Amino acid sequence: MKRRKFLQYTAATGLGLLGSGLGFGARASAEPGALPGTTGTAGAHTAAPHMPLHIPGDSGLLGMLDITTEHLTLDAHNTTLRLRQNTPSPFQVWSAKYAGKDYQNPIIRIKTGQHFNARLQNNLNEPNIIHWHGLHIPGDMDGQPRSMIDPGGHFDYAFDVPNRSGMYWYHSHAHHHTAQQVYFGLAGIYMVEDEDERALRNALQIEPGLNEIPLIIQDRQFNSAGELTYAFNPMQHHMGQLGDTILVNLTPHPKLEITNRLYRFRVLNGSNSRIYKLAFVHGDKMLPYSIIGTDAGLLERAHVTQQEYISPGERLDIVFDASQLRAGDEVYLKSLAFDPLEGGTMLGMGELMGGVSGWGGTEGARLDLGAEFEIMKIAVTRESPARPSGMIPPKLSTIARIDTGGAVRRDVRLTVRRMLWLINGETFTPDRYPLQSRSNTIELWDIQNAEMSMPHPMHMHGFSFQVVQRSNSPSQVRALAQDENGRLITDLGWKDTILVWPGETVRIATDFTHPYKGDQIYLFHCHNLEHEDQGMMVNHLVTAA
Ligand code: C2O
Ligand code: CU
Ligand code: CU
C-alpha cells in the first residue's frame, strides 16, 4: 500500500492557508452569517497554517449544557458552517435553546441517576432519530431505525440515566442516512458524572473548558471551494468514507496552546471509518501519556502508554502531563502508521485499497487508512505558575469482573459476500432478530473476523461489556498487549465498541440483566458507518427474565 507523507498531503491540499474561525450560517442554507464568539484568524497567521482548536464553552457550537429540570428540545436542521477557506459549507446540526442560551450540538452534561427529558424536532427534509450511544436505557428510548421520524415530526425521549460516569455520545441512527448525517454534523457528546468523576477532578485539579478538553476527531473531505463533500465511488462506499482533512472539534488543522501542567483530553473518534493510532510526538520522541478511562468510564487505575488505537465510536480518557515540557516546546498529537490489512487473507484487498487513493469524485488528495499524519499541534506557551499541580490518584474506580462461570457461549462471525458485510450471515432486516439473549444471563461472545480483510469496530447497544481475550491478533496489535490474554489497555475497562482486526477473535463478556419491563430490542453493528448503513447490523432481542 502506498503511503503519502503528511507534508505532501498538507502541501497538496493547501490546508489552512485561508483558515478562519468556525462560523455558522443562518438556518436552511440562507445567507451565511458569522457565529458570534468565534475568533477568525484570516490574515493573522498566513505563515502558520494552524487554526485555534475550538474549545467548547458554555454555549454555542459544542457548548456545555447542564441538564436541569428545564425541558430540552433538539432541533435538527440544515445550516451552513464555515469550516475551511471561510466558505460556508453545507452542515446539519441539532440546535437548542436552554437556560437562556443557544447551542448547536451541545455537550449534554448530566449526573448518574438523573432524569433526561428531551424532544427531537425533525426539521430536516429527510428522516432523523437520535441514538444515545452507550446508555443503558430501554430499547424504545434508544433511538433506533425503527423509531425514525419523518420530516416535520418529533420524538419524545424520557429516561433515567443509569450509567456510571463517562463520555458517551449521541448521533443520528436514521438507517441509510446515518453515515451521511453524522458526516455532515449530527453528532455530539453526552457526559455523565458520578462520585468517582468528582473525586478525580479534585485530584487532578482540572476544570472542563480550561484543562479538561474533549477532542472529537473526525476526518472529512472538502472540495476546492472549501465545502464538505460526501461523494464516493462504490469501493469507497464498501470500505468506508475517508477524508484527508482531520477535524478536531470541527477545527481543521487545529492548534492548542497549553501551559506545562496536567491536561485531560477526552477523545471521541467520531469518524465514519478512520482508525487512529494516537501518540504525542515531541521532536523524534514519543511522550508517555496515561489512559484513565475507556468507552464507559474510568479504569480502575491509570496505565501509561505511548501509542493506542481508537476506532470509530470508541472513547479514550487521556491524561497528558505537560510538566515534562517547557515554554516554547511544540508537541504533535499524531496518528502513527499502521497496516489496516495486517492479518487479512483476501489478497486482492490491498490492491483495492490502493485503488481508492486515486479515485475521482471529489477534489484533493486522499489520505490512506493507516497513513501517518498530524491530528493537532500542541504548543506550550507559558510555564505554569509554581503551585502544586494535581496528580492522578492511584485508584480511579472499581470495576467488578463479570463472573463468566456457566456463561452462555455464542459465536459472532463477521464475513463478506458479494460486497455485503454480514454478521452471522445476516444483513440488517428490520423484522429479524438474529441475536437473542435473556435478561439475567451472562454471555460470552467470540466475535470472529475470520476470513476478513478489514478491521471492524463492533458496537453493542444497551449494555456495556468486558473484554476477556484477544486471540490471533495481528502483530501490531499483539505488540501493545498488556496480559497473557492479549488485551490492550483500552480493553481493561467497560466497553461498548470494540475493534476486531483482520483474522482476530475477541471474546467479550456481557451481563444482560436489565431492569426494564418486557422484551427489549437493541442492536449490534459495525460502527464503520458506511458498513452499518449497508446493513452490517442486526437486531438483538433481550427477552424479559
Ligand atoms: Cu453509536 Cu448504533 O451506534
Ligand atoms: Cu450505540
Ligand atoms: Cu465493518
118 alpha carbon to ligand 3 midpoint, in Å? 31
pLDDT at 348: 41
Please name every residue paired with 140 in a beta bridge, in sequence order, or none if there are none: none
Rg (the chain; Cα; Å): 22
Q: Strand, coil or helix: what is 424? A: coil
- Ligand 1 atom closest to the Cα of residue 144 is 2
Q: Is the pLDDT of residue 25 over 60?
A: no
- Ligand 1 atom closest to the Cα of residue 525 is 2
Tell me the mean pLDDT in the region 442-471.
94
Assigned C-alpha cell, 210: 480550561
Q: Answer yes or no: are the C-beta atoms of 209 and 55 closer than 8 Å.
A: yes
Q: Is the pLDDT of residue 199 over 50?
A: yes
Q: CA separation (Å) from 496 to 61, 103, 187? A: 26, 27, 17
Residue of the CA atom closest to atom 3 of ligand 1: 133
pLDDT at 236: 81
129 alpha carbon to ligand 2 midpoint, in Å? 12
Q: Answer yes or no: are the C-beta atoms of 509 and 466 closer than 8 Å.
A: yes
Taking phi over 0 as left and psi of -120 to 50 as alpha, with beta for the rest, 521 belongs to beta
Assigned C-alpha cell, 166: 463517562
**Residue 345: pLDDT band with limits 50, 70, 90:** low
**Residue 24: pLDDT band with limits 50, 70, 90:** low
What DSSP string describes 433-461? --EEEETT-EEEEEEE-TT-SS-EEEEES
Q: Name the closest ligand to CA 238.
A: 3
- Ligand 1 atom closest to the Cα of residue 532 is 2
User: What count of other Cβ atoms lies within 10 Å of the Cβ of residue 152?
Assistant: 10
389 alpha carbon to ligand 2 midpoint, in Å? 36
pLDDT at 453: 75
**Residue 346: pLDDT band with limits 50, 70, 90:** low
490 alpha carbon to ligand 3 midpoint, in Å? 19
Instruction: Count Cβ atoms within 10 A of the Cβ of residue 5 and give its class: 0-12 exposed, 13-18 middle, 19 or more buried.
Output: exposed
Q: Name the closest ligand to CA 525.
A: 1
CB within 8 Å of 525: residues ≥ 6 apart: 423, 428, 458, 459, 531, 532, 536, 537, 538
Q: Is the pLDDT of residue 37 over 60?
A: no
300 alpha carbon to ligand 2 midpoint, in Å? 24
For CATH 2.60.40.420, list the domain ranges present in the chain.
62-193, 202-382, 408-543
Q: Name the closest ligand to CA 313.
A: 1
Assigned C-alpha cell, 280: 504525542
Ranges assigned E (strand) in 125-225: 130-133, 154-160, 166-172, 187-193, 212-220
> Which CATH architecture group holds 202-382?
Sandwich (2.60)
309 alpha carbon to ligand 2 midpoint, in Å? 19
pLDDT at 343: 77
Q: Is the pLDDT of residue 18 over 70?
A: no
What DSSP string describes 389-408? -----S-----PPP--TTPE
- pLDDT, tens digit, 9 for 90 and up, residues 208-255: 999 999 999 999 999 999 999 997 678 888 899 999 999 999 999 999
131 alpha carbon to ligand 1 midpoint, in Å? 7
Nearest to 511 by CA among 413, 399, 435, 407: 407
Main-chain phi, psi angles of 168, to 5 degrees: -90, 180
Q: Name the closest ligand to CA 528.
A: 3
Q: Is the pLDDT of residue 12 over 60?
A: no
Q: Is the pLDDT of residue 13 over 80?
A: no
Q: Is the pLDDT of residue 510 over 60?
A: yes
Distance between CA atoms of residues 197 and 298, nearest Å:
8
CATH topology of domain 408-543: Immunoglobulin-like (2.60.40)
Q: Name the closest ligand to CA 532.
A: 3
- Ligand 1 atom closest to the Cα of residue 313 is 1
436 alpha carbon to ligand 3 midpoint, in Å? 21
- Ligand 1 atom closest to the Cα of residue 461 is 2
Distance between CA atoms of residues 107 and 250, nearest Å:
14
**Residue 394: pLDDT band with limits 50, 70, 90:** very high
Tell me the mean pLDDT in the region 93-107.
98
**Residue 437: pLDDT band with limits 50, 70, 90:** very high
Tell me the mean pLDDT in the region 429-454.
93
Assigned C-alpha cell, 83: 469550516
147 alpha carbon to ligand 2 midpoint, in Å? 14
pLDDT at 356: 43
94 alpha carbon to ligand 2 midpoint, in Å? 18
Mean of the per-residue pLDDT values of the chain = 88
- Ligand 1 atom closest to the Cα of residue 133 is 1
Q: Strand, coil or helix: what is 179? A: helix
- Ligand 1 atom closest to the Cα of residue 169 is 1
Main-chain phi, psi angles of 180, to 5 degrees: -70, -40
Q: Name the closest ligand to CA 129.
A: 1
- Ligand 1 atom closest to the Cα of residue 497 is 1
pLDDT at 174: 98
Taking the C-alpha atoms of 169, 174, 175 and 176 in order, what is their torsion angle to the nearest 10 degrees? -110
**Full 3-state SS string of 267-320:** EEECCCCCCEEEEEEECCEEECEEEEEECCEEEEEEEEECCEEECCCCEEEEEE
Q: Name the closest ligand to CA 145.
A: 1
Q: Is the pLDDT of residue 146 over 90?
A: yes
pLDDT at 386: 64
Strand pairing report for 254-259 and 373-382? parallel
CATH of 62-193, one of 3.20.20.100, 2.60.40.420, 1.10.3720.10, 3.40.309.10: 2.60.40.420
527 alpha carbon to ligand 1 midpoint, in Å? 6
Q: For residue 349, what is the DSSP state?
A: H
Residues flanking ligand 1, CB < 6 Å: 131, 133, 171, 173, 313, 459, 461, 523, 525, 527
349 alpha carbon to ligand 3 midpoint, in Å? 14
Least confident of 96-110, 291-305, 330-344: 330-344
Distance between CA atoms of residues 231 and 181, nearest Å:
13
459 alpha carbon to ligand 1 midpoint, in Å? 7
pTM of the predicted model as reported, rounded to 2 decimal places:
0.90
Residue of the CA atom closest to atom 1 of ligand 1: 133
- Ligand 1 atom closest to the Cα of residue 523 is 2
Q: Answer yes or no: are the C-beta atoms of 437 and 540 closer than 8 Å.
A: yes
